[in-house]
Structure 1
Amino acid sequence: MKVDVLTETVIAAPCERVAAYAADPVHAPEWYANIESVQWLTPPPVGVGSRVAFVARFLGRRLAYTYEVTAYESGSRLVMRTAEGPFPMETTYTWEPYGEGAARTRMTLRNRGEPRGFASVGAAVMAAAMRRAQKKDLAALKALMER
């Protein structure tokens, strides 16, 4: 069973600022509750072909995986796919100015993939857990950006 979870939020901060912060993997542990560590495998900054290793905890399990950036449009879109990890996953961020004066940003976070191994048994449970986690993560990012 495939998993496809899309969440979004509106952040009271300029699009360029939100995108620059969220697109930098070094900041991920600051707003992703489940991410424990991040390590660049290629030299920063982020760009197509960049590879980053993550260690996370999800559904009570430790997950180590490597993402490779497959698309990057500075300030508007970032797509990463697992190059190594427990199951194929793609994460997409989008950012766009929102409202008058563009002092706010609409950000979407989408995770989709095909769980296998332990995760394939409960894909529906996994999708629900991902949705909850993504909402919390975007709320944390919103709080950081609106300080």
Structure 2
Amino acid sequence: MVDVHVETVINRPPDHVAAYAGNPDNAPEWYSNIKSVQWHTQPPMTVGSKLAFSARFLGRTLDYVYEIIELSPGQRLVMRTAQGPFPMQTTYAWTPEGQASTRMVLRNTGSPAGFSKLAGAVMAPMMRRAMRKDLRKLKELLESR
């Protein structure tokens, strides 16, 4: 089992941060590994919505479909993919921090299978580094607007 959790405080209100970070169309702007996102269901996003992501990680292209399994606008978004060698669940949580800032938590959990199971212990630190970098980029983008 891999469970990686990172967080940051962004100097913007929670509704602003959640609206941007929770919009999958914006993911390629702040996730360094995500190259594209395609809707498999019609927007707007609701529980049951499906989105295809194409990413680069460890020199490989990974294509996967996330399904939205929990959505509390402005507070929490949970999406899960079941296919592939590394099924993953991604959680975003946004909470107020002070008067006009947001604590954003990004968490990825998964249970690798086969060869990926052996790579799981090595992947967690790499994922943590990438996730920290992505949150820094998100913070920079939102605080410069």
Is TM > 0.5 for Structure 1 vs Structure 2? yes
Q: Normalization by structure 2: what TM-score?
A: 0.96
How many residues in Structure 1 have an aligned counterpart in Structure 2? Answer: 144
Matched, 1:138 2:139: no
Instruction: Tell me the distance in 1 between the aligned counterparts of 2:84 and 2:34.
Output: 14
CA change 1:129–1:56 in 2 (3 A) is same
Within the alignment, does 1:122 sit opposite 2:128 as a pair? no
Partner of 1:39: 38
**Cα deviation, residue 98, structure 1:** 0.3
Task: Pick one of 96, 107, 111 that aligns with 1:110.
Answer: 107
Q: Compared with structure 1, are the counterparts of its residues 24 and 85 closer, same or farther at alpha carbon in structure 2 (3 Å cutoff)?
A: farther
Q: Runs of 4 or more off by more than 3 Å in structure 1?
A: 83-86
Q: Distance in 1 between matches of 2:102 and 2:39?
A: 27
Unaligned runs of 5+ in 2: none
In the alignment, which residue of structure 2 is the partner of 1:89? 88
Report the counterpart of residue 70 of structure 2 in structure 1: 71
SS at match of 1:49: coil
Shift of 1:86: 3.4
Look up the equivalent residue of 1:49 and give its one-letter code.
Answer: G
Cα distance between partner residues in 2 of 1:63 and 1:131: 18
Cα-to-partner distance string for 1:87-146 (whole Å, 9 max, x where unaligned): 2110000001101x2x10000000001112442222111001100000000000000110
**What is the alpha-carbon distance in structure 1 between the residues aligned to residue 136 and residue 17 of structure 2?**
13
The letter for the 2-side match of 1:93 is: Y
TM-score by length of 1: 0.94
1:29 and 1:144 map into 2 onto residues whose CA distance is 12
Distance of 1:9 and 1:44 partners within structure 2: 28
| Displacement after TM superposition at 1:45 (Å) | 1.5
- For 2:51, give the aligned amino acid: V
C-alpha RMSD over aligned residues: 1.0
Q: Which is worse superposed, 82-91 or 33-42?
A: 82-91
Q: Equivalent pairs: percent with the same residue? A: 61
